[in-house]
A and B are shown apart, each in its own frame.
Chain A
Amino acid sequence: MKSSTLKFFNLFLFLISFSILQAKTIYAGKNQKIKSLTKAIEYAVAGDSIILYSGKYFEKNIVINKALTIIGKNFPVIDGEKKYEIISIKSDNVVFSGFKIKRSGYATLTDPAAIKVYNTKNITISNNIIDDSFFGIYIQYGTNCKILNNKIYAYGIEEQQIGNGIHCWKSDSLIISGNYISGHRDGIYFEFVTNSVIWRNISKKNIRYGLHFMFSHNDSYIANVFENNGAGVAVMFTNKVKMYNNYFLNNWGDAAYGLLLKEISDSYIEANYFSSNTIGIYMEGVSRTFIRKNTLDKNGWAIKIQASCIDVSMNNNNFTGNSFDVGTNGSLVLNNFNSNYWDKYEGYDLNHDKIGDVPYHPISLFSMIIEKNPPAMILFRSIMVSLLDKTERLIPSITPENLKDNTPHTRKINL
């Protein structure tokens, strides 16, 4: 009896203190006075912190409409029972960290997510585990948001039944770092997102793309790993992209690309590692772009470059163990392929300056034929094709004379 009075008194004091003091910390949990996160948010005022203790919470549509720091202790679980959007952040200056969020709802027009950010700025979402949700973290009209060290798992089988891991739309100045994403439609999805950094994320086994962005200018992608995604990575209609030190691995399938570039300009793709992709880099409508110091190893096609590409410089890359080095459908006069290392190079180096004395032609005749006429693929690996390729290499006539490496390295470049 006495203790309950005391409890009541404490709560009373607690509530009083709200009005007097700024930035209090509110403790909520199964064994606390405040039993749920929704209640805690109701009590809190802007600037407060909420700590939620571990336990399983079935709460729906939690709206964070005040500037709060919300921290989960030992990963409290919030379960959306596949019906609701779970966390909606509608205020500036929110920190949301340390939760395990499970099973958000599914809908096509509203795109419910485990954590969704609406029209706000200065949000930090960190160290959460998001499991089996439709969309993982969804940011629309967000500015200056940080998404750090979250683990996002989903188990999608078909593309329609699953959303993207980290989905950002019409946002600016985001930092997305240290996240792990798997099993979603696209691991990281950007549309109309500018001035952002994507750093050290791992995006694996997503159904469609590991990373997918469109109309997202001035972004940097550094040291990410994109592995075993259904169709690799797709990058479209964007200028001023910087991609450094990323890994593109094992994106293998009929329509998989290590990196698909369409309508990209003024960009830098440097020191990346492309290995075991059906097509290492596919380029269409790419202009004023530097592709340097990359390693392209064991891909089906290392590079496919369409005639619509202008002023692409490919220098100091290592091409090793690819079935085809370069495929194209045009003559590609205005691109530069000098100073790469090609393991298929058969020239000589008389003055021992480690630069081959005769140019290397990286395009095989057959790769040109199928680019123009895909059904000819039926002759893939036939004897006639290998004979044709051999003759063409000796006496080039159909393959573009201008597409050549004038200064091929004779040894693998140390990168």
Chain B
Amino acid sequence: MNKILKYVILDIIRNKIVLTYIFFLFLITLGVFNLEDNSSKGLLSTLNLVLFIVPLVSVIFSTIYIYNSSEFIELLLSQPLKRKSIWLSLFNGLSLSLVFAFIAGTGIPILIYHADITGLLLILSGAILSVIFVSISMLATVYTRDKAKGIGISILLWLYFALVFDGLVLFVTFQFADYPIEKLVLIVSSFNPVDLSRIIILLRLDDSALMGYTGAVFREYLGTGIGITVSFTVLIMWFIVPLYFSLKRFKKMDL
């Protein structure tokens, strides 16, 4: 298993895309912190970057990578190896390298400019988001063997989490405006890892005061140590569950 993992990581690093990704993240994060007049605002802009770019890159890169290594996977399958260990090594390799890329690119500038709990939480949620979207892309790839279709599904999923879901939430809040939906909306938002990590971080920033009474309700539930623990557990579930289903299907797949 370790051997496959090592091979996957080496292969990804040799592929220049990850290095470009690190460089790009590093440049943007550094730029953002230098442009804003205080580091708290910088963190806010970095948050947008983390929520938008990181999932997109993670999901597309891993989808393409898995399709491109289909021959390699077939080769491995001809060896006396468990399908589970092949699939998990692939997942581990992708996640490790993308998490590493994120921490190198965004984590280091954050630690330089805003090294506190909030900064660390942002790094942590960015890292988890990378892993979640690797796992989601793996789920997408097992459902179709057509590369174009697979990439399409991945992008659609990303679009759903980044945009469409929020639209639905907005729709729901308007439909049920007469009801006390603050808590409900909070529960609904945990159905989207992107939203959940955005709220966790926002509640810790000065800007959360703009959320007024609604923000106060959110903070009551998410601002505490227990709230953060629960929400990070939910985030972890978000990569375990898709991974589990993809693994289940991969095991039965006729390759």
Distance A382 CA – B169 CA, assembled complex (angstroms): 12
From residue 187 to 228 of chain B, which have CB atoms closer than 8 A to chain A? 189, 195, 198-199, 202, 206-207, 209-216, 218
* B-side interface mostly: helix
B44 within 8 A of A: yes
Smallest beta-carbon distance B213→chain A, Å: 6
Give the segment of B2-10, B46-54, B60-68, B83-91 that binds chain A. Answer: B46-54
A378–B214 CB distance below 8 A: yes
**Does A323 lie at the interface of the complex (its beta carbon under 8 Å from any beta carbon of B)?**
yes
| B107-115, B177-185, B230-238: which lies at the interface | B177-185
The stretch that binds B, out of A80-88, A112-120, A121-129, A368-376, is A368-376
Residues of A within 8 A of B202 (CB): 380-381
Q: Which residues from A are CB-within-8-Å of B169? A: 376, 378-379
Residues of B within 8 A of A1 (CB): none
Shortest C-beta distance, B124 to chain A (Å), equals: 19
Which residue of A is nearest B168, CB measured?
A384
Knowing A373-B174, A375-B182, A375-B185 touch, does A380 contact B210 (C-beta < 8 A)?
A: yes
| B162 interface residue per 8 A CB criterion | yes
Q: Say yes or no: is B186 at the interface (Cβ < 8 Å to chain A).
A: yes
Q: Whole-angstrom distance from the CB of B21 to the nearest CB of chain A?
A: 19
| A381 and B163 within 8 A (CB) | no
Contacts of B137-157 to chain A: CB distance below 8 A: none
Residues of chain A at interface, number, CB under 8 A: 28
A254 interface contact, C-beta 8 A:
yes
Residues of B in contact, count (CB < 8 Å)? 34
Chain A residues lying within 8 Å of B170, measured Cβ to Cβ, are: 369, 376, 379, 384
Q: Which residues of B contact A383 (CB under 8 A)?
A: 48, 51-52, 162-163, 166
The reply to whether A278 and B210 form a contact with Cβ atoms under 8 Å apart is: yes
Q: Which of A371-403 contact B (CB under 8 A)?
A: 372-387
What is the bound-complex CA distance between A415 and B71, given in angstroms? Answer: 71
Q: What are the 8 tightest A-B residue pairs by CB atom distance, in nearest-first order?
A: A384-B166, A377-B214, A300-B210, A278-B209, A377-B211, A376-B173, A254-B216, A374-B214
Seed contacts A380-B215, A381-B202, A385-B166; 14 additional CB < 8 Å A-B pairs = A254-B209, A254-B215, A373-B177, A375-B173, A376-B170, A376-B173, A377-B211, A377-B214, A378-B169, A378-B185, A381-B198, A383-B52, A383-B162, A384-B167
What are 25 contact pairs spanning A and B, CB under 8 A? A252-B209, A254-B211, A254-B212, A254-B216, A278-B209, A300-B209, A300-B210, A323-B210, A373-B174, A373-B177, A375-B177, A375-B181, A375-B185, A375-B214, A377-B215, A378-B189, A378-B218, A379-B166, A379-B169, A381-B198, A381-B202, A383-B51, A383-B162, A384-B163, A384-B166
Residues of B within 8 A of A (CB): 44, 47-48, 51-52, 162-163, 166-167, 169-170, 173-174, 177, 181-182, 185-186, 189, 195, 198-199, 202, 206-207, 209-216, 218
